[in-house]
Structures are given as C-alpha cells and as structure tokens.
Amino acid sequence: MEAFYAVILAAGAGTRMKSDRAKVIHELCGKPMVNWVIDAVKASGTENIIVVTGHQEDQVRACIKEKVEFVSQNEQLGTGHAVMQVKPLLQGKKGTCLILCGDTPLITSETIKQIVHEHNDNNRAMTVLTAIFEDPEGYGRIIRDHSGNVRGIVEHSDATSEQLRIKEINTGIYCFEIDYLLKSLENLSNQNDQNEYYLTDTLSIILENGGKVGTTTLGCTDEMMGINDRVQLAWAQKILNRRIIEKHMRNGVTFLNPDSCIVEHSVDIGRDTVIYPLTILEGNTKVGQNCIIGPNSKITDTLIGNNVTVLNSVTIESTIDDDTNVGPFAYLRPGNQIGKNVKIGDFVEVKKSVIGDHTKISHLAYIGDAEIGKNVNIGCGVVVVNYDGEKKHKTIVGDNSFVGCNVNLVSPVEVKANSFIAAGSTITEEVPEFSLAIARSRQTIIRDWVIRKGRLRGKKPEE
C-alpha cells in the first residue's frame, strides 16, 4: 500500500541566531517554528512525519508534542546527508515523500497539498517547489532547457553570469517518489568545496535514470522564507501574527489597529468583540462575545466571558465571568476566579482569589489568597494581609458585606455575611454576621501641641 511521508530537516545549528537555544525552537506567535511546519504538514493530511534532529536535539525533541518519528544526524554534512539518515524508515515503502525544512514556519497546508497534488497527477519522480523573485540574490536557480523542462539546480555561488539572470529560484521544498529518492541518495557525492552531500544533486541523478522531474510554482513567496537570524524571525512573526488576526477579523472580531496587536496561535475570540490597539493576547486565552479588550492590555492564559471589559490591565491564568469590568491599571495575578458583573477597578491587584458576583473592588486595593462573597463592597485602600513572613493565609469575606476604606484584613480571618467594617480598621479576629467591626484607637486632640513643641511651619496666629 502506498503511503505519504514527510521529512522535516531540523538538525542545523543556526549560528546566526546568536543563541544558546536551537534555532528551530525559537517561538513565533507562541509556537516553536518547527511546530508551525509540523502543523502545516499535518493539516495537509500527512500523518507519517519524520523529523531529523542533530544540534541540541534534546531541546528540539522536547518542544515537539505531536506524534512524529525522530532520527538523528550526528554530523551535519549537508541536506542530502540529513535525508540519508531517514533511509531505514523508508526502505521497502511505496509512495510519496515530501521534504522540507524546520526553519520555514510560513509554509501553509494549501501549498503542501498543491505540490503533492501536482506531483501525483503528473506521475513525476521529483517535484521542486519554486518561486519567482525579482531579486533572486543568494538563491539557487532553476535551470531549464529550450522546451521548458527542468534540467538542474545551480547554486548562486556556482552560477554563470547568464544563469544569474534567472529569476526562478529553488525554495528547498521537494516531493519525491520514494523509490527514486532512495536510489538517488545512494549515488550522492560530497566531492565539492564544502565536502557536503546536497539534496539538489538528486535532481540530475533522477533525470539520468529516466525519472520525470517537474516544478510547482509558489504563489506567495513569503511561505518559503527561512529563518536564519533575529531579523528574519521578527519578519516571520509579523506575517504569522497578521494571518492570525485576519482570521479572527473574518470570524467577526474587530481590531481597531491590527498591526499594533499581538495574538498568539492558541487564542480564541468571540464575535463582536473589539480589540483596541497595543493589546497582547497569548497562551490559552479565550475571550467571549461582545467584549472590549485594551488598549495596552496583556491577557495571558485567561478565560473571559461575554460582555467583559478589560481596560489597560494585565491578567494571568485567571477566569473572568460575564459582564465584568476590569481596570484601568488592574493586575490579576494567577489563580483568580472573578464572578459575574464584578468591578475590579483602577490599581487593584488580585491574586489567587475568588470574587463573587456583583462585588465591587473599585480602586487601590490588594486582595490575595481570599474568598470574597457576592455583592461585597471593598473600599479604597483595603489590603488583605495574607503573608506572615513564612506562610500565606486565607481571608474570607461573606456575602453582602461592606469593607470600608484603608482596612487591613490580617489573614487568617473571616468576616461573616452582612457585616460592616469601619474605615481604618485592622481586623485580626472573626467578625460575626450582622456586626459592625471597629478596630482603631479613639481620636485624641492635644490643643496647641504644635506651638508648644516649636513645630510651627507657618506664621504664628495672633493672640
């Protein structure tokens, strides 16, 4: 039975990245670049994926979560040598083998389907994916005869002045019939200045053995872009980010300034939501319908319900239910569950807490390791004192309670439902239901103390 295999070359060192990390694990829109290639291959209908690893292969293999087979290229002796390492897995197989590089994250499943389709429909032994460049500087050129048939690939450094005028270039992506691929690999030579085995040399070998070679021309040249340094990484990030945002816009999401936003591949956004400029949505974030997010907000791994507003704020690993308003300048640290119709106002920080429905924490408060009930009012300057220097402790505030301004709730402590806490109080003991708690010293007035102590800052009043 014939099969379809894909071989992804991911063994290179990528020295121009100037990094301690393997090149192909650098992320774009929240996903390592090699995984963009794997996902495109899988989306094209290919399940038999082989990844060739070498330089820092432990890092590379650890970042790949999809089911693939790995082979090692212990010495990097060229692209042909890399594919040679796959021979044991292809021996005895019939069908098609796609070969592409792990540093081309912009390749799409549509292009992969196109090259495979044209390869099979034309009964070719080899198909080369090519592109037309107005400025093909640095790329290998496709050599054709007078009838337009492919006769070879010449590298830029080896090309004659006439060949350098050719604008059709080699993208480095190929489709082979497995039989022809295996036979051509046996005849590859490394007799060149670099002493490497080049996969491009298989083209002439296949032609010499009577195999049919053709090309598929790439429509969007962005897809062939390989990542070799940080500049190219940034360009690819911009292109992928734009693809993601345009997909959301076509699904009913408004971006007021798409180019100013960053949205990672795993983010989900409901229709009629408006994303303001300079907003970052990353990780496993899900935003519901009719929300307003931003400007200047960073939302990470957060589940947001419908009709929610997050203004100039940061949220991390939290859940925000329907009709809630967050910000401006709020900070939701990991572990929060924010209820329905809640207000988390300006300069409020919440950490690992449950906030009940209809509760208001309007400004300048810190809530940590707490359970705040429904319909609670937390006044300005309230602090949950959750840390004793060694351990974190919990505070519970019951439903319908009112906590006045500048209150310290010293954990562990519980304020029962329907209670009031007077402004300026430091609460260290349980507050019973329906109670008013006042924990501050009585105000004392010492008349003329400023004059007698010589601390007058202005003119002494006339007697």
Per the residue annotation, which of 119, 248, 363, 393 is the catalytic one? 363
The confidence score (pLDDT) of residue 38 equals: 98
Q: Which of 261, 299, 298 is nearest to 277 (CA)?
A: 261
The confidence score (pLDDT) of residue 462 equals: 64
Share of the chain above pLDDT 70, in %: 98
pTM of the complete model: 0.91
The confidence score (pLDDT) of residue 1 equals: 44
Q: How far apart are CA 272 and CA 306, in angstroms?
A: 10
Share of the chain above pLDDT 90, in %: 86
The confidence score (pLDDT) of residue 461 equals: 63
In the structure, what pLDDT confidence band is assigned to residue 115 with cuts at 50, 70 and 90? Answer: very high
Supply the mean pLDDT for the chain. 95
Domains of the chain (ranges, CATH numbers): 3-224 (3.90.550.10), 348-463 (2.160.10.10)
- 52, 264 contact by CB (below 8 A): no
Residue of higher predicted confidence among 259 and 147: 259
Q: How far apart are CA 210 and CA 191, in angstroms?
A: 23
Task: Report the half-sphere exposure of 39 (CA within 13 A, side-chain side).
Answer: 12
363 is catalytic: yes
417: tokens are 């439902």
Q: How far apart are CA 310 and CA 299, in angstroms?
A: 9
Q: How far apart are CA 88 and CA 411, in angstroms?
A: 64
The confidence score (pLDDT) of residue 202 equals: 95
The confidence score (pLDDT) of residue 192 equals: 76
**Cα Rg of the chain (Å, integer):** 32
Type and span of the H or E element at 121: helix 109-121
Residues 23-36 have pLDDT tens digits of 999 999 999 999 99
Flag whether pLDDT at 239 surpasses 90: yes
Q: Work out the average pLDDT over 111-117.
A: 96
How does DSSP assign 322-358, residue by residue?
Answer: TT-EE-SS-EE-TT-EE-TT-EEEEEEEEES-EE-TT
The confidence score (pLDDT) of residue 136 equals: 87
- Label residue 460 exposed, middle or buried (CB < 10 Å: 0-12, 13-18, 19+): exposed
Q: How far apart are CA 424 and CA 381, in angstroms?
A: 9
- 335, 319 contact by CB (below 8 A): no
